[in-house]
Amino acid sequence: MSILSLEFLAFAVGAVLLYYCLPLKIRWVVLLAGSAAYMALAGWQSIAHISAVALVMWGGGLALQRKKSRLLLALLLIPDLGAMIFLKYWPALSGAAMILPLGLSYFTFQSAGYLIDVYRGKMQAQKNPLKAWLFIGYFPQLAQGPISTWKELGSQLLTGHRFEPENTVSGFTLLLWGYFKKLVIADRLAKTTDALINGSGLPGWFVLGGVILYTIRLYLDFSGGMDVVRGLSRMLGIELPENFRRPFFARSVSEYWRRWHITLGAWFRSYLLYPLTTCRAGIGLGKFASGAFGKKTGRTFPSALATLVVFLLIGVWHTANWNAVVYGAYFGLVMGVSMLLEPLWKTMRTTLNLPREGWMAPLRLIRTWGLILLAQYFAFTLNPEMGFSLLRSTFQAWDFSGFAVRTAAVMEPLEWIIAGIGCLFVLIVDILCEKKTDVCGRLAKAHFYIRWPALLFLILAIVSFGIYGSGYDGAAFLYTQF
């Protein structure tokens, strides 16, 4: 059941109404029943797999709480993460078809994080297996995350929330905003990506523009889905972690990744990056690098190498092909080299008296987005050869004589206008949010004559200009497959 479908909306409305009709102490049961029904509708494979993972997580957590054993933790994590790796990558290696459980990566990472946190003593293991199941099976986040910790989500799910009109309106607004970004803009821009993949002999300006539009589409697609998920949860009184924080305002690649898929980055930092840098091998590598390259480089070298490993894994997590390896390795090298050269950059800035802001700010922005856009050539293409081919094409045939014909072949002028106006609305809202303005919260508290016209405008825009209907794949969020 796609979160874009009318069936899902009816399902969600029913869950919200039933949730607030029952006593506070048993409201978590509504979430449990709704989540189980949602998984069952996705297929018996989904509910069977997540139930097995939840059972291992629950029993393993209790065992780790009684006795902290690295061996036991490893024995619990190997089948948990191993099953995800097998299901995601065996079809690509063998050519065999396989049905993936809904939300496979998200509930696997969440269950693994739970076990590690119990082992580290950061939390008490949950004694009720049904409550443990709900933590990883909470239905709004199964579609595309976020990846939450027990501290962030567990207590919220189990504590009954009272009905608050402002929370409900704020959540409904956020939900509509997510549908607007996905249906009105992102799915409309999908035609530009198709034109790049299926086209040949394309002029450089067309390729560069298409890659930029793909980046915008990816942001609106994923963040739109997250807004739907967070909006529905807010209507239930549950606040999910933010997964996007306006990445287009980033002034460095590292800042971009702190703003992009935040919970995935946080999971890898907490459960992989930090352990790699603080283990015996990491400390030994740091000592070796200090002797070979100096203390400053030695202190940074383990973190730089661990960053490369983490980004390689993040790349491969996206999909099982060589483009994912190129994508991950590229960002890992950019981040790692940047960390190693940071002392040199500081010395240069001090020596040349270069400001951090002022006239340097737009140059930093151009540098950052030049580096980010290079990676996007391998994010949507089918293989590295296609990515490099499009990259070469970017620097060739900058002839604008066929501009009108080429753009019209992709989308009609009205479609471009709708997409452009939609992007302008998103930019304005993102600027307001960047200035710490809670747009949904403000709207929820606004006067009736301001609040409801705004909501009606979003509804009418989605109904009138959304891309759906015959042949539309409602499950086609770009990140649903992960």
**Active site positions, annotated:** 318
Give the angle subtended at the CA of 480 by the CAs of 185 and 262, to the nearest 5°: 80
Please state, in angstroms and rounded to a whole number, the distance separating the CA atoms of residues 242 and 262.
7
Please state, in angstroms and rounded to a whole number, the distance separating the CA atoms of residues 117 and 151.
10
Rounded to 5 degrees, φ, ψ at 408 are -65, -30
With H, G, I as helix, E, B as strand and everything else as coil, classify residue 97: coil
Rounded to 5 degrees, φ, ψ at 269 are -65, -45
Q: Which of 195, 336, 337 is nearest to 273 (CA)?
A: 336
Amino acid at 123: M
Tokens 């283990």: give the residue. Answer: 279
Q: How far from 133 is each of 31, 48, 86, 113, 144, CA to CA, in Å?
A: 11, 12, 22, 14, 18
Structure tokens at 2: 């796609």
> Do 379 and 327 form a contact (C-beta atoms < 8 A)?
yes
Amino acid at 302: P
Amino acid at 357: E
Q: What count of Cα atoms within 13 Å lies in the side-chain half-sphere of residue 92?
A: 14
